[in-house]
Amino acid sequence: MDNFIAFAEVAAAIIATMGLAMWLEWLALNGLLHLMPGQPDPRRGARISEARIAASPRQGKPGPTDLPALTVFPH
């Protein structure tokens, strides 16, 4: 009977430790995912480009500043 109780204590400690480790891993990954940028809205980018071209002193001629920005995490 003493061996069974000792085995149950060790098993419970292992299961509790694994549960804590998985919870901390989920918490860390959830926090990192909240820091990642979302997908850009293509309509918003089009409005900004149109406004930039309209405000350009070159009257809408394409140039190096009119290129869309590259995203860090393309999807």
pTM of the model: 0.45
* pLDDT at 2 > cutoff 90: no
State the DSSP string of 17-44: HHHHHHHHHHHHHHHHHHHS-----HHH
Residue 61 backbone phi and psi in degrees, to 5: -75, 135
- Please tell me the distance from the alpha carbon of residue 49 to that of residue 53, in angstroms, as a whole number: 6
Question: Tens digit of pLDDT for each residue in 11-63?
Answer: 999 999 999 999 999 999 988 888 887 766 566 555 555 555 555 555 555 55
Delimit the domains of the chain by residue range. Answer: 2-66
